[in-house]
Amino acid sequence: MRTGHIRWLVTLFAICHLSFAMASDKPSNPKAIIQTSAGDLTCELYQDKAPRAVGNFINLAEGRQKWVDQKSKTIKEGVPLYDGTIFHRVIPGFMIQGGDPTGTGNGQIGYNLKDEFVPDLKFDRAGRLAYANSGPNTSASQFFITEEPYPAGDVCMSDKGCDRGGNRVPKGSGYMIFGQCDMSSVELVKWIAKAGRDMETNRPIRPVVIKHVKIVRPDTK
C-alpha cells in the first residue's frame, strides 16, 4: 500500500473517531411518559434548550416543587402535582390541555414561570409539548400537546408586534415549547381530542385522567 493511501486512511480514521466521540459526548434529554387512562404519551423534554421550563415540569411531576392546592388552600410539598389530574380542554385538529389540579383551566398553583422562549423551537410540527398561559410570564403547571402544526402559537419576537391569523399580538406573545411527543402519542392525542366534548367550553364529556408522569433520565437503565 502506498504511503499516501496509508496517510489518507489514518486521517479518515481520526475524523470518524472524533465524530463518534463528539456524538457520544452530546447530552441526551430526559423523557416524560405521561401515563393516562387512555394510554401512554411519550415525550422528549428539551432540557438542553429550555432547562428552566423542563426543570419546572420535572419537579412538579416528581413532587420536588412546592405548589398551592386551591381546593384545600394548603401548600403541597412532596406531592406530585399531575397525578390524578385530567385533560380538561380538548379541541380536535388542535390540541389537548391538562395539568390543572382544579380540572377547570382556571387553577393557580401559587407561582408563575418567567418565559423561556427558544427561537428555533416552533409549532411547525405535530406533537409539540408546551405550557399554556394567559399572557407573558404566566405559565405554571398547565400544558398542552398539539396534534397539528400551530404557527399562531409561535412567540412574537418583533418590536412591532406580529400578525397571528388576522390578530395583532405584541412582542413576547406565544407559548413556551419544552418538549416533543412521538408520533404514536400524537395518534393518542387525536383520539382523546375526538372522544366527545362540550362544544361551548371544549371540556371533554368523559375526561382522560393523568395517572402519573414518569420521568426517564438518560442515565436510567
Residue 86 in any domain: the answer is yes
Task: Assign residue 186 the CATH number of its domain.
Answer: 2.40.100.10
Q: Tally the C-alpha atoms within 13 A of residue 206's C-alpha that lie toward its C-beta.
A: 8
- Domain assignment present for residue 84? The answer is yes
Residue 185 within a domain: yes
Classify residue 15: in a domain, yes or no. Answer: no
Residue 16 lies in a domain: no
Residue 221 in domain: no
pLDDT of residue 172: 86
CA-based nearest residue to 219, from 27, 3, 20:
27
Q: How far apart are the first and last CA of the chain?
A: 45
In total, how many domains does the chain have? 1
Domain membership of residue 120 (yes or no) is yes
The per-residue pLDDT for 59 is 98
- Domain assignment of residue 52, given as a range: 28-216
**Position 88 in a domain:** yes
Q: What is the pLDDT of residues 197-212, one digit of tens each?
A: 999 999 999 999 999 9
**pLDDT tens for each residue of 87-96:** 999 999 999 9
The predicted-structure confidence for 161-220, as pLDDT tens digits, reads as follows: 998 878 888 988 999 999 999 999 999 999 999 989 999 999 999 999 999 999 999 976
- Residue 66 one-letter amino acid: K
pTM (whole model) above 0.75 = yes
